[in-house]
Structure 1
Amino acid sequence: MDGLEFVDLDLGSRDGQHLVVDVKAAALNFSDLLMSEDKYQARPVRPFTPGQEIAGTVLSAPPESQWKPGDRVASKIPWGGFAEQALVPCETAFAIPDNISFELAAALPVTYTTSMVAFFDSTHLRPDQTVLVHAAAGGVGLAAVEIAKAIGARVIATASNEQKLDLAKEHGADICINYSDESWVQLVKDATNGVGADVIYDPVGGEIGLKSLRCLARNGVILIVGFASGTITEIPANRLMLKRASAKGVYWHHDHDAALIKNMMDKMFVMLEKGLLNPVVDTRFSLAQLPDAMQALQNRETTGKVVLTV
């Protein structure tokens, strides 16, 4: 990726609200690409250090905080994660159980939390429902497949090639459809006996999001998770009206949703302990290979969650 270079920086002043964390692993998100291109809703002043998911050990902590040096933590941060050290707000960090690696932990704060919020808060997915998950082999999509199956729902997964569909199937998808096939909407309808999906989980946007409305069940909900296609879906309101359907954005922020996020993390770790979740972590890139990792993500050459080892 153009414009990226490694430099030495001072982390800045300590305000008594942040941990200094020695980063062991940092995960990539499509929002990192958008933020780097100044196309994301958060627009840090340039130059800046991207990276929103990290895991590592606490180097220093405010005396009044619950944390101490040596604690193993992971967190979502606004940016600054693709570095050897990062500042982490005390209230957003969560402890990593000893049996979870830093690489796996770095894959949890954004993608898995987002999918938990989607199915437990944005809508309340039920075991008797069918959910359509787009980009089901990507970080956020694969998390959605696993969580939906843990709830007991029937999962239809879409992806761009057979290898990715096989991965989605390995992680619980009941039906897999290649959305490079122009007839994918009809295939979804056929798989639901013409009824359509009760819940559509869309991290892609663009044309995929627009076509999804054609395979949404009556009284269904389309969850707007992101815009990996780079294009925001313009949803015709009449399509929703005629199906008594709804579109809902999936979004959370620690400043407003601290209690919700704690609840979601607690549920997530229970699922992990029961073996219901099995995150796929791609660790072939190191921090020094960040440009290559971002390019691979942009080119859709990755599966699961891309995590840099630091």
Structure 2
Amino acid sequence: MKAVVCREYGGLDAARLEEVPSPTIRPGCVRIRVEACSASFASLLVMEGKHQNKAPLPLIPGTELAGVITEVGEGASRFAIGDRVIAGVQSGAYAQEVIAPEETVFALPDGVGFDTGAQIPTIYGTAFGALAWRAKVEPGEVVLVHGAGGGSGLAAIEVAKALGARVIATAGSEEKAAIARAHGADLAINYRTDNWREAVLAATHARGADVIYDPVGGETFDISLRCIAPDGRIIPMGFASGTIPTIPANIVLVKNITIIGVYWGYYFGWGKHPVPATNDTRLRRTYAQLFAWVLEQKLRPRAHAVLPLANFREALEMIASREVIGRVLMRPQQETAPSAS
């Protein structure tokens, strides 16, 4: 099979499209023919050896995908050959085939395409877990979403709206702000031209946002602490700014706020500790809900570009440029770039 392979850490310079042996099926797992996979900033960090979960070499990057089951391992019983599915994997998605534990494989409804499905396992799963499970967003609450032009931000906007929240979004250009509004943001602020803290306070009558979803970190997180409502919850989802903030405990105390960490990989069994027995049921209900919202058009995952796997370098360079609006997808079974339509 063809796969993107890193035999040393070094980012894109160390990655090659290679012909490698198909992975061996394992008990409790299924083999999936990968029809679509998502390029991500996290993959760039993994390829550089800078991700918190340092993958052993050689590695095939990629954590979320959609495809069709072609083989079922011993002891696996949830799926059959021919089933359309999505999956979250610790690595290996940038390939024509992947082996995945059936615990992290979920049914893909017939009315949902592979390009859409490949955006659901990590980005939308994380948004739902953060906002519904951990922050417990209530209808009518104000959710502030940073990095609203990226895939993570757009997913958070849509999930928050589906939960009944009022959404304020910040983005780095007028185009990204317009896309945020198109995906449901009630107010979208260009942080390069406007004082977003003052805008948030003005829009909430000086109270601040009830929940803040922050994949940016750095100064953005620091300013967020100055426009969060009493009893508010702030979720540090990532550090795209390159700076991990230090949280002043005195502000947490006097503002009566909660800092919420969310590592979605934990729920997929990728952490150091076992997940509770109820986790499987909750995950399957979550993905069923997410796909119900997709079919209702409440969630509309946006593809910035769709490229063949052979163009992985171009796909990841788009991510590194930070100009992507939505998600960049790759199709491992496709030899050439799709024609414009």
TM range (shorter): over 0.9
The answer as to whether partners of 1:103 and 1:283 remain within 8 angstroms in 2 is: no
Structure 2 residues not aligned, in runs of 5+ = 1-11, 270-274, 333-341
Matched residue, 1:58: 69
Q: 2:200 aligns with which of 188, 192, 195?
A: 188
| 1:133-158 alpha-carbon deviations (Å, 9 max, x no partner) | 00112111101111111122111001
Structure 1 residues not aligned, in runs of 5+ = none
Matched residue, 2:215: 203
Farther off after superposition, 4-13 or 128-137: 4-13
Matched residue, 2:28: 17
Distance of 1:231 and 1:262 partners within structure 2? 34
| 1:145-172 alpha-carbon deviations (Å, 9 max, x no partner) | 1111112211100110010110000111
Matched residue, 2:57: 46
The letter for the 1-side match of 2:41 is: F
Distance of 1:237 and 1:293 partners within structure 2? 40
Q: TM-score scaled to structure 2, two decimals?
A: 0.87
CA offset at residue 63 of structure 1? 4.6
| 1:150-207 alpha-carbon deviations (Å, 9 max, x no partner) | 1221110011001011000011101111122462222221221211101000111122
Matched residue, 1:133: 145
Q: Is residue 119 of structure 2 the alignment partner of residue 107 of structure 1?
A: yes
Q: 1:263 aligns with which of 271, 285, 294?
A: 285
CA 1:237–1:181: 2 relative to 1, 3 Å = farther
Matched residue, 1:80: 92
Q: 1:36 aligns with which of 4, 26, 47?
A: 47
The answer as to whether partners of 2:29 and 2:73 remain within 8 angstroms in 1 is: yes
Distance of 2:110 and 2:55 partners within structure 1? 34
RMSD over aligned CA atoms reads 1.5
The answer as to whether partners of 2:46 and 2:53 remain within 8 angstroms in 1 is: yes
Q: 2:180 aligns with which of 168, 171, 174?
A: 168
CA offset at residue 114 of structure 1? 0.6
The letter for the 1-side match of 2:71 is: S
Q: 1:285 aligns with which of 295, 307, 310?
A: 307
Q: TM-score scaled to structure 1, two decimals?
A: 0.95
Identity of aligned residues (%): 38
The answer as to whether partners of 1:139 and 1:304 remain within 8 angstroms in 2 is: yes
Q: Superposition pairs for residues 220-235 of structure 1, below 5 Å? A: 220-235=232-247
- Runs (4+) of structure 1 moved beyond 4 Å? none
